[in-house]
Amino acid sequence: MVRRSLSGSETPPHRAPKRARIEHLTSEDFKNGIFLAPMVRSGALPTRLYALKHGATLVWGPEMVDKAILHAEREVDPETGVVSYNGKTRAMFTTHPIEKPYLIYQIGSSDPELAVQAAKTVMQDVSGIDLNCGCPKPFSTHAGMGAALLTNPDLLCSILTALRKAMPPEITVSAKIRLLPSQEDTLKLVERICDTGISTLTVHCRTRNMREKDKAVIGRLREIVEFVEKMGKGIAVVENGDCTGYEDAKRVREVTGAHSVMIARAAEANPSCFSPEPLIDVESIFIPAYLRLAHYLKANWNLTKFCVLQFNGTRKTLTKTETVQLKQSISRSKDFEEVKQLAGGWTGVEEMEEIIAAIEARPPRKRDVESVEVQEAESSQKASAEEDENAEEQTETEEVEGQFNLEIPLKAHVGGEVTPLNTVNPHPPSLCAPLLPSNPRLQYVRNRLR
Ligand SMILES: Cc1cc2nc3c(=O)[nH]c(=O)nc-3n(C[C@H](O)[C@H](O)[C@H](O)COP(=O)(O)O)c2cc1C
C-alpha cells in the first residue's frame, strides 16, 4: 500500500480506530466535584457504582491496611468482570473495571515501604492512591496509622513522598487528614503535606477528638484553602464533614471555598444524594435494586446486608412499621436466596446496564480532549517529518499506524510491555489495560452482559 502524505488537512490513511481517551486523573479532576468518601464496609462496590450512577464525580474505596492486601490473589470473574483481591478466607477488596477511571484506593499505613507495596499491588485497577491520616479509632492509631500520623508529620510525609516516587504519573497520590486543634499547626502540617507532590488534600473538618455527632467546623477550612492556593501547586482541597448532598455541597463550597466536597454518612444512607434530582425512595426502589445488583456482582452477602441496613430514607411508600419489618426481614436472612422475593427476583443485569449507561453518558474530561488533540497534532507532525525523510520507503505503511497510539505514555512507563489486544486480565503489576478498539472497560462489560 502506498503511504500518503500526512501534511496539510489530510487525515492519516491507516490510523487505528480512535481509542478510549486517556483517563488519568490530575489535580484538576479533583476540582468542582462531589465525592463519595472512604467508608470501611459501607463503601462496598455496589454502593460505589450507585454513587457514580447518581453523579458522584469520584469514589474512594474503604480504607485497607497496607499489609492486608499484600498477599491477596487477584482474580477476575469471567461473567461480571469483577476484580477481587482475595485473602485466605474472603475478598479483601473488590472492584469493577467500569469504576477504575473514578476510583481512589485508600491505604492505612505507618510504613512507606509497605504503603508502596500495597499501592503497587492494586495500581492496575485504580486511578489514585489516598493515605488515611484521619482515622481516630484505636485499631488504626495504636499501630501509628490514621490520625496518629497527624502528630508524626515526618512519617506521614515520608509515606506520601515514597508513594509519589513509586507510582507512575498516571496514578494520583492524595491524603485525607483531620484538623489539628490549632489552626497554626494545621497550616504547618498542610504545607509539609503539600510539598510531597500530592494532587489533592481532603480535610475532614473535625479534630481527632471530635466525634461524628459533633458539628464539623467547616469555618476553619477557608484559610486552609487560601493557604494551599497561595502555594501555587494547583493542589485541590476537598471539604469533608456534614455535607448532606448535591444542593448542600453548594453551601459548603460557598462557606469554605473548597474545590470539592466529599460525603460519607449521607451517601451511606442514600447513595443517590449526589444527584440534583430528589432522593430515590430507599424502601420501594433502592433496596430491591441494590440487592439485585449485589447479587449480580456476586457480592458478599453479609457485607451487602450491612450496607442495605444502613440505607435510610424519607419513607415515601412504606409506613414506619413496614420499614422496620422490611429491615428485620433482611437482617434475619442468611443469603441472597432468602431476599429474592424482596428484590423482585434476579437478575441485576438491568441495574448494571443502567450504571454503565450513566457512566458512559458523562462528558469526557475536558483536559483529556485537549491533551488528546495535542498528542494527535504532535503525532501528525512527527509522521509528516518522517515522511519527508523517508519518501523512498513508500510501501511501509505499518510504521505510520503505531504513531497514533494514544496510550504511549502508559506504554513508555512500563518499559514497552503492553497487554496484548483483546486480553481482559492483565497480570499484576502491569499498568496497561487491554487495548481494545473502543472504551475497553465498557466493551468488556457489554460483552459479559450479552
Ligand atoms: C461507616 C464509616 C466508615 C468510615 N470509614 C472510613 C475510612 O475507611 N477511611 C476514612 O478516611 N474515613 C472513614 N470514615 C470517615 C468518613 O470518610 C468521613 O470522614 C466522616 O464520616 C465525615 O464525613 P460525613 O460528615 O460526610 O459523614 C468512615 C465513616 C463512616 C461513617
Q: Which structural domains are found in the chain, ordered by start?
A: 27-274 (3.20.20.70), 282-360 (no CATH), 404-438 (no CATH)
What pLDDT score was predicted for residue 406?
21
Query: Treating both helix axes as pointing N-terminal to C-terminal, what angle do 183-194 and 221-231 enclose, rounded to 10 degrees?
Result: 30
CA distances from 85 to 71, 133, 330 (A): 9, 23, 27
Q: Which of 187-191, 330-334, 370-374 has the lowest mean pLDDT?
A: 370-374
Residue type, 39: M
Q: How confident is the model at residue 366 (pLDDT cuts 50, 70, 90)?
A: low
* Residues in contact with ligand 1 (CB, 6 Å cut-off): 37-40, 42, 62-63, 106, 132, 134-135, 176, 204, 212, 240-243, 263-266, 268
Distance CA 148, CA 159 (A): 13
Candidate of 40, 104, 137, 214 to mutate for ligand 1, largest count of ligand atoms within 8 Å of Cβ: 40
Mean pLDDT of the chain: 82
Distance CA 110, CA 227 (A): 27
CB distance 225 to 234 below 8 Å: no
Q: Which of 115, 107, 113, 116 is nearest to 134 (CA)?
A: 107
Measured by CA distance, the residue closest to atom 21 of ligand 1 is 264
* Of 24 and 189, the one with more pLDDT: 189
Q: How confident is the model at residue 401 (pLDDT cuts 50, 70, 90)?
A: very low
- The cell for 190 is 498542610
Pick the atom of ligand 1 nearest to 132's CA: 11
Helices marked H in 45-97 — which ranges? Answer: 45-53, 66-70
Distance CA 258, CA 254 (A): 8
Measured by CA distance, the residue closest to atom 31 of ligand 1 is 265
Q: Which of 169-183, 221-235, 369-383, 422-436 has the lowest mean pLDDT?
A: 422-436
Rounded to an integer, the average pLDDT of 69-75 is 96
What pLDDT score was predicted for residue 4?
34
Catalytic residues: 135
- For residue range 369-387, list pLDDT tens digits in order: 444 444 444 444 544 544 4
Q: Is the pLDDT of residue 414 over 60?
A: no
Q: How confident is the model at residue 166 (pLDDT cuts 50, 70, 90)?
A: very high
- The cell for 289 is 435494586
For β-strands 64-65 and 200-207, DSSP reports them as unpaired
- For residue range 255-282, list pLDDT tens digits in order: 999 999 999 999 999 999 999 999 999 9
Candidate of 39, 221, 309 to mutate for ligand 1, largest count of ligand atoms within 8 Å of Cβ: 39
- Tell me whether the omega of the peptide bond preceding residue 429 falls within 30 degrees of 0, making it cis: yes
What pLDDT score was predicted for residue 187?
98
